[in-house]
C-alpha cells in the first residue's frame, strides 16, 4: 500500500451525478443527500463532487472557484468550485458549461432523451475525481479514498489506475441494469488506453462500459442491500457481469450494505403533512387519507386505499399493478398513483384512471408533498418490482404506516417481514400480486391485526447510522492501516 495512506483517517471524496435538494432523478440523489452527512457525523472528512448543472448554479450563483483542471483528449478542461452547505458539508462542483449548463435531468433533456455526449459529461466527472485524488497544487485538500456511485462516476477508479495512482476506491452499485455503454470508437476521445479495451478492463460485448470499468478497477464493490449483492452473482440478475462480480466476491471484495432513509420522513413532524400522527393514534392518518382522496378526485370510502409512488417502468412491475387493479376495485378498494417513465406505461396508467373514475386516480409526474401525503394516507403501497436493488419507497411507506405489498427480491426482501411489516410474494406475475392483495385486504378487514402491522412497520429501524458504520468497515478494509475516526 502507498505509504501516504498508512495510519491516516479516511478523507473521502464522494462522487455522485445527483443529489436531492439540488438536482436529482432518483434514489441515488436521496442517498447522496444523506450518507455523506452521516459519515461526517461519524468523524470522517467526507466531501462531495458533483457536476455543475444549470439548476445548481441557479440556486447557488456565488460558488467559489478553487482550481482549474486540464482536459484529456476530447474531455474538456474544467474548473472546480466549492459550495458549503448550512451544516458545513462541502460540495466540490465540476464547472464545465459546455457539458452541464443545460435544462433537464442529470442524464437527459426535458423530453427524456439522453444527452448525446453523456460519455464526455461523465468521463469529465470521473476524471475530475481522479485529478483531485492525485493532488491539485494549492487546492488545500487531498482525499485519500474515492467513493464513486453507479456508472456516471465509475470511470474514476479506472483513471486512477491508468495514472498509476494506488489510492483506494469504492464503487457502490445502485442498479446494475444501467451500465453506461458507448461505442468502442470513443476510447481515444475519453482518454481510455488501448490496452484497457479488453475483457479485463472496460470492454463489454464490443462496447465501452463505464460500469464495468469501475467494477474491474475499484478496490472494493458495494451494493445497496445484502440480498441484491447475492442476486447479482447469478446469470439471471447479473446483467452479463456476473462472472466478474463472482470473482470480486470470491476475493471478499463485494459487500451489500442496506440503504437508510432521511429522518424527515416522520409522521409526527413531517412539514409536508397537514395531519400528523404516530403508531398509537391513527386519527391523523385517516385525515391524510381523506386529503389524498380529495386530491385525486376519488369517492369517499371506508375501504382500503392502495398507492403507487414509482418510476413507471417495466422493472417496477407497473404493468402488474394495472392487471391487478380490477381486483382492488372489485373488493371495495381504491388506487392512487404518481410517477413518470416509459410513455406506454404512462398512457396505460392514465387509461386505467379514465376507466375507473372515482376509484382510480393517476398523476403523471412527481411532486414531493403529494408523494409524502400518499405514503401517509394510504393503507398499502404496491411495489411489485421484478428486481429492486434496495428500494426506498417501501421504507418511506413503512414509516408512515402504509404496508408495502412487494416482490420478495433485493432490498424489499431485506426490509419487509411478510405478514408483520408488509406482504411479500415470489413470482413476478399479476396472479401472485392479486393473491397478495387479497391477503392484505383480509388483514384490513381484521382491524386489530392491521393496526399491529402498521405499528410494527412504523417502528422498524430505517436510519442511516447502520449504513454509515458499514461503509466505515469497508473503508477500513480498503485502507487497512487507516484509522476510521
Query: How far apart are the C-alpha atoms of 359 and 327, rounded to whole Å?
Result: 12
Average pLDDT of the residues in 10-19: 96
- How does DSSP assign 435-485, residue by residue? HHHHHHHHHHHHTHHHHHHHHHHHHS--SSHHHHHHHHHHHHHHSTT----
- pTM of structure: 0.93
CB 67 within 8 A of CB 44: no
Res. 6: pLDDT tops 70 = no
Q: What SS3 class is residue 404? A: strand
Rounded to whole angstroms, how far apart are CA atoms 76 and 339?
36
Rounded to an integer, the average pLDDT of 399-406 is 98
Contact 239, 177 (CB under 8 A): yes
pLDDT tens figures, 287-316: 999 999 999 999 999 999 999 999 999 999
Query: 222: helix, coil or strand?
Result: strand
Average pLDDT over residues 137-148: 95
The neighbouring-strand residues paired with 48 are: 14, 91
pLDDT at 230 over 50: yes
Cell of 114: 439522453
* pLDDT > 70? residue 375: yes
Contact between 369 and 272 (Cβ < 8 Å): yes
> 139 burial class (0-12, 13-18, 19+ CB within 10 angstroms)?
middle
Task: Select the more confidently predicted residue: 1 or 254.
Answer: 254
CA 360 to chain centre: 28
pLDDT of residue 480: 64
Q: Which residues contact 58 (CB under 8 A, 6 or more apart)?
A: none
Q: What is the DSSP letter of 312?
A: B
Structural domains in the chain plus CATH codes: 3-260+465-478 (3.40.50.2000), 283-459 (3.40.50.2000)
Would the pLDDT of 171 be above 80?
yes
Cβ atoms 103, 110 nearer than 8 A: yes
| pLDDT above 60 (res 47) | yes
Rg of the Cα atoms in the chain: 23
- Edge-to-edge strand ranges of the sheet holding 254-256: 64-69, 78-84, 90-95, 45-51, 11-15, 145-149, 169-173, 220-223, 254-256
Give the pLDDT of residue 110: 84
Q: Tally the residues of the chain.
A: 485
The answer to whether the CB of 24 falls within 8 A of the CB of 107 is no
Q: What is the mean pLDDT of the segment spanning 5-12?
A: 72
CB count within 10 Å of CB 359 equals 21
Q: Is the pLDDT of residue 7 over 90?
A: no
**Which residue in 461, 399, 388, 451 sits closest to 424, CA to CA?**
388
pLDDT of residue 16 exceeding 80, the answer is: yes
Q: Quote the CA–CA distance of 248 and 219 in Å, as a whole number.
A: 10
Q: What is the pLDDT of residues 449-461, one digit of tens each?
A: 899 999 999 999 8
Using DSSP's 3-state secondary structure scheme, residue 68 falls into strand
Cα 152 to its chain centre, rounded Å, is 13
Q: What is the mean pLDDT of the chain?
A: 94
3-state helix, strand, coil in the chain (%, to 5): 40, 20, 40
Whole-number pLDDT of residue 8 = 67
The cell for 388 is: 429492486
Q: What is the pLDDT of residues 73-116, one digit of tens each?
A: 999 999 999 999 988 999 999 999 999 999 999 999 988 889 99
The residues, ordered by sequence, that sit 6+ positions from 313 with a Cβ below 8 Å of its Cβ are 341, 342, 345
Can you tell me the distance from the alpha carbon of 366 to that of 455, in angstroms, rounded to the nearest whole number? 28
Amino acid at each position: 500500500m502507498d505509504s501516504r495512506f498508512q495510519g491516516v483517517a479516511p478523507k473521502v471524496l464522494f462522487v455522485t451525478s445527483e443529489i436531492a435538494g439540488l438536482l436529482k432523478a432518483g434514489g441515488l440523489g436521496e442517498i447522496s443527500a444523506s450518507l455523506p452527512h452521516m459519515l461526517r457525523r461519524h468523524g470522517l472528512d467526507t466531501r462531495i463532487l458533483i457536476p455543475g448543472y444549470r439548476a445548481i448554479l441557479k440556486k447557488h450563483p456565488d460558488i467559489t472557484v478553487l482550481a482549474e483542471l486540464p482536459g484529456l483528449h476530447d474531455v474538456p478542461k474544467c474548473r472546480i468550485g466549492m459550495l458549503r452547505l448550512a451544516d458545513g458539508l462541502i460540495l466540490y462542483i465540476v464547472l464545465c458549461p459546455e457539458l452541464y449548463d443545460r435544462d433537464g435531468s442529470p442524464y437527459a433533456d426535458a423530453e427524456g432523451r439522453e444527452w448525446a455526449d453523456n460519455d464526455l459529461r461523465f468521463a469529465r466527472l470521473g476524471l475530475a475525481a481522479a485529478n483531485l485524488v492525485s493532488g491539485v497544487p494549492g487546492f488545500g485538500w487531498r482525499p485519500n479514498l474515492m467513493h464513486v456511485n453507479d456508472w456516471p462516476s465509475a470511470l474514476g477508479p479506472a483513471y486512477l489506475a491508468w495514472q498509476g495512482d494506488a489510492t483506494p476506491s469504492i464503487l457502490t452499485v445502485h442498479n446494475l441494469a444501467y451500465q453506461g455503454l458507448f461505442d468502442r470508437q470513443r476510447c481515444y476521445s475519453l482518454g481510455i488506453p488501448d490496452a484497457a479495451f479488453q475483457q479485463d478492463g472496460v470492454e463489454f460485448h464490443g462496447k465501452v462500459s463505464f460500469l464495468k470499468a469501475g467494477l474491474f478497477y475499484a478496490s472494493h464493490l458495494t451494493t445497496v442491500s445484502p440480498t441484491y449483492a447475492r442476486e447479482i452473482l447469478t446469470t439471471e440478475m447479473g446483467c452479463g457481469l456476473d462472472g466478474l462480480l463472482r470473482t470480486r466476491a470470491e476475493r471478499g471484495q463485494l459487500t451489500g450494505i442496506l440503504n437508510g432513509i432521511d429522518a424527515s420522513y416522520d409522521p409526527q413532524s413531517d412539514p409536508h403533512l397537514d395531519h400528523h400522527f404516530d403508531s398509537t393514534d391513527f386519527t391523523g392518518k385517516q385525515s391524510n387519507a381523506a386529503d389524498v382522496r380529495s386530491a385525486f378526485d376519488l369517492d369517499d370510502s371506508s375501504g382500503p386505499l392502495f398507492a403507487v409512488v414509482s418510476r413507471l417502468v417495466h422493472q417496477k412491475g407497473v404493468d402488474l399493478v394495472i392487471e391487478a387493479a380490477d381486483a382492488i376495485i372489485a373488493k371495495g378498494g381504491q388506487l392512487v398513483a404518481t410517477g413518470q417513465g416509459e410513455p406506454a406505461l404512462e398512457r396505460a396508467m392514465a387509461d386505467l384512471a379514465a376507466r375507473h373514475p372515482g376509484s382510480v386516480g393517476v398523476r403523471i409526474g412527481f411532486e414531493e408533498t403529494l408523494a409524502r401525503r400518499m405514503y401517509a394516507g394510504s393503507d398499502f403501497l404496491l411495489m411489485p418490482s421484478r428486481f429492486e436493488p434496495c428500494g426506498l419507497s417501501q421504507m418511506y411507506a413503512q414509516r408512515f404506516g402504509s404496508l408495502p405489498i412487494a416482490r420478495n427480491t433485493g432490498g424489499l426482501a431485506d426490509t419487509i417481514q411478510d405478514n408483520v411489516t408488509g406482504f411479500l410474494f415470489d413470482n413476478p406475475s399479476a396472479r401472485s400480486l392479486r393473491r397478495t392483495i387479497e391477503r392484505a385486504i383480509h388483514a384490513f378487514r381484521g382491524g386489530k391485526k392491521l393496526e399491529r402491522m402498521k405499528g410494527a412497520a412504523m417502528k422498524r429501524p430505517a436510519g442511516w447510522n447502520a449504513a454509515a458504520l458499514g461503509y466505515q468497515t469497508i473503508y477500513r478494509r480498503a485502507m487497512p492501516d487507516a484509522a476510521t475516526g
